[in-house]
Structure 1
Amino acid sequence: MERTPRPSVRPSATRDVLTLVALPLLAALALPAAFAGGGTRRWFGGRSESQRAEAQAAKDAAAAAFYELDTAQRDLRISIETITAVDDSPAARRVVSDFAALGRRIDEASQKYITAVDAHDLDRDELEASVAARARGELVAAKDELVRVKADLDRFEQSLAPLLGKAETQLARLAPAVERARQALLAASNALDSVRRSGLKADDLAARLAALAPELTKLNQGAGRHGVPETLERAERVSREAAAVRSEAERLPERAAEIDHRLVSLRTRAQALTTRSEQVEPVLSELRRRFSAACWQDLQHVPEQAAESVRQAEAKLREARAAREAQRWPDATSLLSTVRALLNSTDEAVSAAGDRLRRLNAVQKDPQQEIDRTRFAIRDAQRLAMAGRTTPDPRQARPLDDSVARLDRAVATLEGRHPDYWHFLTETEAVRQTVARVVAQIREERGGA
């Protein structure tokens, strides 16, 4: 594009025009400086200003790098604190030491940057180009070091992801767990209040709930004081124990009714056993009259033992009734269990006498039925032992052969004038038990094969 030729102007005229234009301009520029108390910057040419501008740009870049590194360090410190609040493992402790080492590098890089900034006043008058160039070099070096440390810090932060994720997960569980514990305690307290309004006492449950008060205090003090893992464990334990108190409190009316029912039932059973135990003596008399001493001598103390057991049961029943009236529920329950055990053993002893007479009558009348029953069990086991074999396994054949001989000896005891029918019955029962063990062994081995 061609330029339009300018008309020639005399140099003296030009100077006059510039003078007229410059005077007002200089006056305008001088006014703010005069009010500010400063002077004007002298003009040293393009090279000095260019170096100053480059140095200022380097300073701005270094400041930005310093700010980014400082921000990243602050953010990462929060992550480290999150991890250490939850995790006390060797890996977590190593993270703390590695972060401390990075912190020392950050301090060194930051000090290098601050020193470079403080060493050079880029705004002063008469800034030489060489000074500006040196300042730029130092600021660029400081910025590069800040950037390198920032990159190392970023890589370190990425390596923390697994530990940080685990810690954040536990922290996310913390508040709900603590809240569940508080709600469980409140529900347990409300359940106890409801039970007491119904007229029932629950002193043991109240004591258990009161014992949780210090735990609630620690929960309220927070994980910052007691640690996240400990606080989580405490919250879960409080929730479980409070829930147990609540469940027992809600069941207390049913438990009271159940204890009342058991008191009546066991009292009735004790009375019935008293009547039955009185019938043992006539049974023993018949056993003594019709059978040898070996058939009944182990039963001769049953009447006395039964009477004593019933007396003990009745005494425990009275204690259980007193515990129920005092609403000492665990004591009442324990005493009733003792009563039940006493009555069970008495029932067995009393029943044994009548059962003995019945079995002896049966075998005296027809011993062959017992013999045939036992022989059938032996033959059945022998057939099983020989199934699929030409010769029996000695481990099974020997006890079966011994059982045959033992049965024969038991049958022989019936030939005397006063046969020991009870010995005969116990022997045949023992033979059948031996045979049953052999059968079970055979089936187990073949089933495993």
Structure 2
Amino acid sequence: MTGTHAQQAKVSAVRDVLGLMLLPAPLAAAALSASFAGGGTRRWFGGRGESRRADAQAAKDAAAAAFYELDTAQRELRISIETITAVDDSPAARRTADDFAALGRRIDEVSHRYITAVDTHDLDRDDLEPSAASRARGELNGARDELVRIKGELDRFAQGLGPLLDKAETQLARLAPAVERARAALRSASGALDAVRGSGLRADDLAARLAALAPELTKLNEGAGRHGLTETLHRADRVLRDAEAVRSEAERLPERAAEIDKRLVSLRTRAQALTTRAAGVEPVLSELRRRFSAACWQDLQPVPQQAVTGVRQAEEKLSEAAKARDEQRWPDAAALLGAVRALLNATDEAVSAAGDRLQQLNAVSKDPQQEIERTRFAIRDAQRLAMAGRHTPDPRHARPLDDAVARLDRAVAGLEGRHPDYWHFLQETEAVRGTAGRVVEQIRGERGGGQAR
């Protein structure tokens, strides 16, 4: 209950003696007898006077019982209100808390009148007058009636809390499992980290991430009463997610270390093989220069030096990756190995380009007709599709195909002469086939979408 410190002290004192007052009759009588042991002789009124004293005492006991019931009900209801406000910040919940506070102030007023009536009348006085006993009985009965009335208001207020309290308890039922799952995830992550460290892997980054979750665990332990239900549930989810990530990475760390070791060996072997292959580029270029025009091989001239540079850079990155692995800097090692792979891929493509060029030029110089027929077939196939179901082709399809025919004819004509540019011819036929393929895709797309005319 609220109120001044003095009033609160009086309420507390009343609560302390209520236990004695509400004892069964034999025990109460024994307690009262003990309280008078060793004292003076008490003057008793006989007849009506003593009857009025007894009536006043009965009124006092009834008021004390009503006060005790009200106080107990208010304490129990306060727990329900605290449960609601801890998990629900809706307008309805705030309004309920305000109403309870207002009801509490009225309860304080009624309690004050009851305590004042008790303090005013000493029913144990030897010289208690019958009229004073009558006044005491009237005031105490009035205080009891007010206590009973306000207790009724409190009971009706409690009955109206059902929906809000059910909602709050449902939400709280979610909280405990969520917090326990987060704690279990932290324990699991810690165990996985200890295990991986026991195998000789440091996992410093994982340890730092796990340590960063300690303040979050502290807030979880402080509970929803301090941080609110919604925030506590979100925090539990975050801790669960982050802890499980640490655990998963810790459990996978030995496999990751083995994978990096394997990649180091594989890429080092590949770099050595590329060094050997790169040495064969110069003889290929020599044959290209001897048998074909300059236009067929000039763009390949830098390949030998590119291969040497690429392999050297890859080997330097491999050394850095091996150092990162030894220092257990796993993200750095993985990134460096990715850079090594990219360098070796580029070098491989450059080295392969020279051999592929020689092979293609050999084939077309021996029989260019095969390349010509392959390209004409692609054009004719596109033309047939363009004319399917039509008397005249759509200009959007016919124009690029006509241009492709003309382009092929020019490429074929370019083969005449003493030193034909076979490489240019191959590039042109590839481009013509690409044009035919795009027209086919366009027509199929339009017809598939119901746009054919």
Q: Which has the larger radius of gyration?
A: 1
The aligned residue for residue 154 of structure 1 is 159
- 1:220-369 to structure 2, matched below 5 A, reads 220=221, 222=223, 224-369=225-370
The aligned residue for residue 76 of structure 2 is 75
Letter in 2 for 1:264: V
Asked if 1 retains the 8 angstrom alpha-carbon contact of 2:196 and 2:250, the reply is yes
Asked if 2 retains the 8 angstrom alpha-carbon contact of 1:295 and 1:423, the reply is yes
Asked if 2 retains the 8 angstrom alpha-carbon contact of 1:382 and 1:400, the reply is yes
Asked if 2 retains the 8 angstrom alpha-carbon contact of 1:83 and 1:167, the reply is no
Residues 81/419 of structure 1: CA separation in 2 closer, same or farther (3 Å cut)? farther
Q: Distance in 2 between matches of 1:351 and 1:253?
A: 37
Alignment of 1:164 with 2:168, yes or no, is yes
- 1:36-115 to structure 2, matched below 5 A, reads 37-40=42-45, 42-43=47-48, 60=62, 70-87=71-88, 89=89, 91=90, 95-108=93-106, 111-112=109-110, 115=113
Q: Distance in 2 between matches of 1:401 and 1:165?
A: 78
- 1:369-388 to structure 2, matched below 5 A, reads 369-388=370-389
- Unaligned stretches of 5+ residues in structure 1: 1-31
Helix, strand or coil at the partner of 2:414 = helix
Q: Distance in 2 between matches of 1:292 and 1:41?
A: 145
Q: CA offsets per residue over residues 338-383 of structure 1, 9 Å max, x none?
A: 2211111100001011111111222222222222222222222233
Q: Distance in 2 between matches of 1:134 and 1:71?
A: 23
Which range is displaced more, 219-228 or 131-140?
Answer: 131-140
Which range is displaced more, 368-377 or 123-132?
Answer: 123-132
Alignment of 1:191 with 2:195, yes or no, is yes
The aligned residue for residue 409 of structure 2 is 408
Q: Structure 1 length normalisation: TM-score?
A: 0.74
Deviation of the 1:109 alpha carbon? 5.2
Q: Distance in 1 between matches of 2:114 and 2:220?
A: 51
Deviation of the 1:222 alpha carbon? 5.0
Aligned match for 2:184, one of 163, 177, 180: 180
Asked if 2 retains the 8 angstrom alpha-carbon contact of 1:102 and 1:153, the reply is no
The aligned residue for residue 24 of structure 1 is none
Deviation of the 1:230 alpha carbon? 4.2
Q: Distance in 2 between matches of 1:131 and 1:203?
A: 78
Residues 251/97 of structure 1: CA separation in 2 closer, same or farther (3 Å cut)? same
Q: CA offsets per residue over residues 79-98 of structure 1, 9 Å max, x none?
A: 332344345x4x1x652343
Letter in 1 for 2:360: R
Letter in 1 for 2:314: A
Asked if 2 retains the 8 angstrom alpha-carbon contact of 1:117 and 1:139, the reply is no
- Unaligned stretches of 5+ residues in structure 2: 1-32, 124-128
Q: How many residues align?
A: 403
Deviation of the 1:318 alpha carbon? 2.4
Asked if 1 retains the 8 angstrom alpha-carbon contact of 2:260 and 2:334, the reply is yes
Q: Distance in 1 between matches of 2:93 and 2:383?
A: 74
Deviation of the 1:151 alpha carbon? 1.7
Which range is displaced more, 354-363 or 164-173?
Answer: 164-173
Which range is displaced more, 126-135 or 286-295?
Answer: 126-135
The aligned residue for residue 398 of structure 1 is 399
Q: Distance in 1 between matches of 2:46 and 2:84?
A: 55
Residues 317/146 of structure 1: CA separation in 2 closer, same or farther (3 Å cut)? closer
RMSD in angstroms over aligned alpha carbons? Answer: 3.9
Q: Distance in 2 between matches of 1:432 and 1:162?
A: 73
Q: Structure 2 length normalisation: TM-score?
A: 0.73
Q: CA offsets per residue over residues 142-166 of structure 1, 9 Å max, x none?
A: 64454245324421x1241464145
Q: Distance in 2 between matches of 1:290 and 1:225?
A: 86
Letter in 2 for 1:99: A
Deviation of the 1:426 alpha carbon? 1.6
Letter in 2 for 1:105: L
Deviation of the 1:224 alpha carbon? 5.0
The aligned residue for residue 9 of structure 2 is none
Deviation of the 1:306 alpha carbon? 0.7
Letter in 1 for 2:183: E
Asked if 2 retains the 8 angstrom alpha-carbon contact of 1:42 and 1:126, the reply is no
Deviation of the 1:259 alpha carbon? 2.7
